[in-house]
Amino acid sequence: MADEDALRSVDEQLDVVLGGIGAMDPIELPLLDAQGLLLAEDVASELPLPAFDNSAMDGYAVRAVDTRSARPDAPVTLPVVGDVAAGARSRSGMGPGLAMRIMTGAPMPAGADAVVPLEDTDRGLARVAIRRPARSGECVRRAGEDLRAGTLALRSGAALGPQQLGLLASVGRDRVLVRPRPRVLVISTGSELVEVGQRPVFGQVPDANSFMLTAAAKDAGADARRAGIVGDDHSELLDLLESQLLRADVLVTTGGVSMGAFDVVKQALSELGTVEFVRVAMQPGKPQGFGHLSGKVPIFCLPGNPVSSLVSFEVFVRPAIRKLLGKRNLQRARVRAVALQPIDSIPGLRQYRRGVLHRESSGGYSVSLAGGPGSHLVASLAASNCLIVIDEDVTEVPPGAPVTVIPLLLSNR
Ligand code: AMP
Ligand code: MG
């Protein structure tokens, strides 16, 4: 049990979280389901790429020596002894002093060592006039020039974007071993919450957190879903968690982790002994719970105020999801920006303020505050595009001073 009065630093708590999480076990997925994931095997190409010598142009396959004397005003004329199209299933052959009409991607005939592009010829069918000499190897794509047979196409850990999926298809892989998306389940707790769309009566609040955090988890790369709302009731919460344990790789709850009489998440899960509730030196997001259920499923118990829950997600859950995905860089990029307003901060706490980041015409950044510090301010949160980080030892940022900013860029997942 953590000492109720001692605050744990953000970095220490993040170490605890990341120490309790490893990368997902690899699974095999069809190529298009692997988009955005990390490869979990070395992929070698059995065949060379390209697999056979082929033409880079539409033109005529020739022996370069036969075109040596060709000039625009004195072309060399060669008999055309056939056509080779892309997809030709056998290798054609050609004797000296002859030419074959050839299409882009078609296999080079045996006996030819260069292709003269159509535009340097008269495009003849029975005989072709060639207006300049070809170099040996010109317009020929060599077998294995892109990738030799048996060599590595992609290394384990490679991120699979469109280009990498194209290469995997080129080497004949329709399924690959990857780190899958973790299944994240988001549960909102609070007896005051109503399902969105239902008209709240006095004292009720629509459940916003589960939408916000499910979206944030998807954005971080997870396969996320909402489990709806549970009231402030021990057995209701424990029953829901138990029923979902086999269907989730990560559980996220919001609400019920403060010191109030009805903070049921903290009460119910503390008793299990595998979830630790601490106070972290940050604002918002001071009360945090993290641990494991059934010895293996990580659970994050985030505070209920919407801004607190999103900031807590950004600080602890997003890096954890990235670790599960097998990523090495767990943190969002940060930028330095000039504060346009004074910002004050409580000593000893790392403060995350919502901000609007602007790109200056000079190329640098400036940032203004989006609303006050209150962690209930969802409209201000929605107007922001970044978090402004004020370190523990800073109590005042004067206007014009540089601050650290985490842009909350939307991914295109
Ligand atoms: P709690 O952490 O449970 O004490 O909740 C703190 C504040 O956040 C209360 O005002 C709650 O009504 C509000 N809150 C908790 N959960 C949600 C939620 N899912 N959606 C919107 N507001 C919430
Ligand atoms: Mg509550």
pLDDT tens-digit readout, 132-174:
999 999 999 999 999 999 999 999 999 999 999 999 999 999 9
Which CATH number does the domain housing residue 45 bear?
Answer: 3.90.105.10
Determine, yes or no, domain membership for 330. Answer: no
192 touches ligand 1 (CB under 6 Å):
yes
227 with 298, same domain: the answer is yes
pLDDT for res 223: 98
Ligand 1 geometric centre to CA of 281 (Å) = 20
Rounded Cα distance between 373 and 305, Å, is 12
What number is the average pLDDT over the span 63-81? Answer: 98
Kindly report whether the peptide bond that precedes residue 50 is cis, defined as omega within 30 degrees of 0: yes
Ligand 1, atom 3, lies closest to the CA of 255
Ligand 1 geometric centre to CA of 190 (Å) = 7
Ligand 1 geometric centre to CA of 289 (Å) = 15
Q: Which ligand is nearest to the CA of 301?
A: 1
Total domains in the fold of the chain:
4
Rounded Cα distance between 12 and 209, Å, is 25
> To test ligand 1's pocket by mutation, which of 209, 277, 300 has the most ligand atoms within 8 angstroms of CB?
209
Least confident range from 9-13, 225-229, 248-252, 256-260: namely 256-260
125 with 202, same domain: the answer is no
Determine, yes or no, domain membership for 4. Answer: no
pLDDT for res 2: 45
Q: 141, 168, 202 — which closes off a domain?
A: 141
Ligand 2 geometric centre to CA of 112 (Å) = 79
31 with 175, same domain: the answer is yes
> Tens digits of per-residue pLDDT, 87-121?
999 999 999 999 999 999 999 999 999 999 999 99
Amino acid code (one letter) for 332: R
Determine, yes or no, domain membership for 3. Answer: no
285 touches ligand 1 (CB under 6 Å):
no
Determine, yes or no, domain membership for 369. Answer: yes
312 touches ligand 1 (CB under 6 Å):
no
317 with 359, same domain: the answer is no
| Confidence check: pLDDT of 77 > 50 | yes
Q: How confident is the model at residue 15 (pLDDT cuts 50, 70, 90)?
A: very high
What number is the average pLDDT over the span 361-376? Answer: 96
193 touches ligand 1 (CB under 6 Å):
yes
pLDDT for res 1: 43
Q: How confident is the model at residue 358 (pLDDT cuts 50, 70, 90)?
A: very high
Contact 277, 266 (CB under 8 A): yes
Q: What angle do CA 345, 350, 351 make, to 5 degrees?
A: 50
Ligand 2 geometric centre to CA of 140 (Å) = 70
Range of the domain at 290: 10-24+180-324
232 touches ligand 1 (CB under 6 Å):
no
Which residues lie closer than 8 Å to 115 by C-beta, 6 or more apart?
A: 55, 56, 57, 59, 60, 61, 62, 102, 108, 134, 138, 139, 140
Determine, yes or no, domain membership for 168. Answer: yes
256 touches ligand 1 (CB under 6 Å):
yes
Rounded Cα distance between 317 and 331, Å, is 11
74 with 111, same domain: the answer is yes
> To test ligand 1's pocket by mutation, which of 202, 232, 253, 254 has the most ligand atoms within 8 angstroms of CB?
254
Ligand 2 geometric centre to CA of 205 (Å) = 11
284 with 229, same domain: the answer is yes
Q: How confident is the model at residue 409 (pLDDT cuts 50, 70, 90)?
A: confident
305 touches ligand 1 (CB under 6 Å):
yes
> Tens digits of per-residue pLDDT, 274-310?
999 999 999 999 999 999 999 899 999 999 999 999 9
User: Hey, what are 44's tokens?
Assistant: 């070698």
208 touches ligand 1 (CB under 6 Å):
yes
User: Hey, what are 6's tokens?
Assistant: 């001692």
Which CATH number does the domain housing residue 200 bear?
Answer: 3.40.980.10
378 touches ligand 1 (CB under 6 Å):
no
Ligand 1 geometric centre to CA of 376 (Å) = 8
pLDDT for res 5: 66
Give the ligand 1 atom nearest the CA of 303: 2
114 with 185, same domain: the answer is no
What number is the average pLDDT over the span 228-232? Answer: 95
| Residue appearing with tokens 């030799």 | 148
pLDDT for res 413: 67
Beta strands in 286-385 (DSSP E): 287-293, 297-302, 335-339, 343-344, 350-359, 365-369
What number is the average pLDDT over the span 339-363? Answer: 96
326 touches ligand 1 (CB under 6 Å):
no
pLDDT for res 410: 77
289 touches ligand 1 (CB under 6 Å):
no
Q: How confident is the model at residue 6 (pLDDT cuts 50, 70, 90)?
A: confident
Supply the DSSP string of 92-110, one letter for each residue: -B--TT-EEEE-TTPBPPB
Determine, yes or no, domain membership for 413. Answer: no
Q: How confident is the model at residue 412 (pLDDT cuts 50, 70, 90)?
A: low
Q: Which ligand is nearest to the CA of 377?
A: 1
78 with 172, same domain: the answer is no
Which residues lie closer than 8 Å to 77 by C-beta, 6 or more apart?
A: 124, 127, 128, 129, 130
Rounded Cα distance between 305 and 309, Å, is 6
276 with 349, same domain: the answer is no
Give the ligand 1 atom nearest the CA of 257: 2
Q: What percent of the chain has pLDDT over 90?
A: 95
CB atoms within 10 A of CB 8: 20
Contact 400, 367 (CB under 8 A): no
Mean pLDDT of the chain: 96
15 with 32, same domain: the answer is no
Determine, yes or no, domain membership for 287. Answer: yes
